[in-house]
Structure 1
Amino acid sequence: MKGKLVSGLAMLTALSVVGAMIKIPAIVGSVALDVFPALVAAVLFGAGAGALVGAFGHLLSALAGGFPLGPMHFLIAVEMAVLVWVFGRLYKNNKILASVLFIIGNSFVAPLPFIYLMNAGFYVGIVPSLLIGSIINTVIALVAIPRLSSLVTFGISKREEKI
């Protein structure tokens, strides 16, 4: 069981790095398709596991991109972990609410500290790209989750019940 969990999380983290190579044009920084594997992990493996994939996936994708925002990527990784965790906790009860909160949180709330760390111009410049990226990542996750959920089983599988 633990081997499957670790393998699944490692695979989704690696997919996050691959998604980071698919860039969305942004005025400032880098916006990519690196968060949808974390959203998938949050639903299939639990909110905490998804938060880990979100944080590590962001740090690895930032590393691959040359850390364009420097040490501020650690703050972004924490924000990503929190947003993915909230998505994972809300998804089973209300998919629409989970999706809308993730999009709003990732697009408008998460970059708020950068108004004080950098300036308001950075915030205004990054929000449109983050909004588009958040919508695309969320839609991909919403399409992938039902299709992948049959691959992830916890407990006794039907085959083991017959034995």
Structure 2
Amino acid sequence: MNRLTLTVTFLSISIMLFGQTLKKFNYSDCHEDTGNDSTKIQVTQASKELTIITLKTYAPCSGNFVGEIEIKSIGILDLRFKTKPTQYKNKKGEIYELIEVADCNCLFVFTYEISTINDLKQTSITVHGKTALQINQANSFKEIKVEFDSIRR
């Protein structure tokens, strides 16, 4: 009984101290014509109890995302999103899931509404464990110039 009480007490304190929850998650339509846009993170304090984070970044064109957040032990908020599986029923009534895989990326604007975050700085936010700078470096393309010799034989 003492172990159960200790476990419940620990969980209650953890939830109070680290009680950030993702209240709402939205994303825009795919922006295909993006030029050289880069990943950007913007933090807006909507109220004492709600923080809104807008993330503009590249993701698979298929969309159908679900958002997640993770608080790292060193005070970093990690924003995450993944493709949500679509559920189907077959003729037997069995449910199965399919994930649509896209072979392209386009720019999306993700909105995370998170409760009980105080004094959050943009520099303490990552996306799938990477900073905005790291994401931009991975998505930058170098122009390759190809010249053909026009000498004929």
TM-score (structure 1 length as normaliser): 0.24
- Greater fraction of residues in strand: 2
Larger Rg: 2
- Greater fraction of residues in helix: 1
Q: Which has the higher contact order (CA 8 A, sep 6+)?
A: 2
TM-score (structure 2 length as normaliser): 0.25
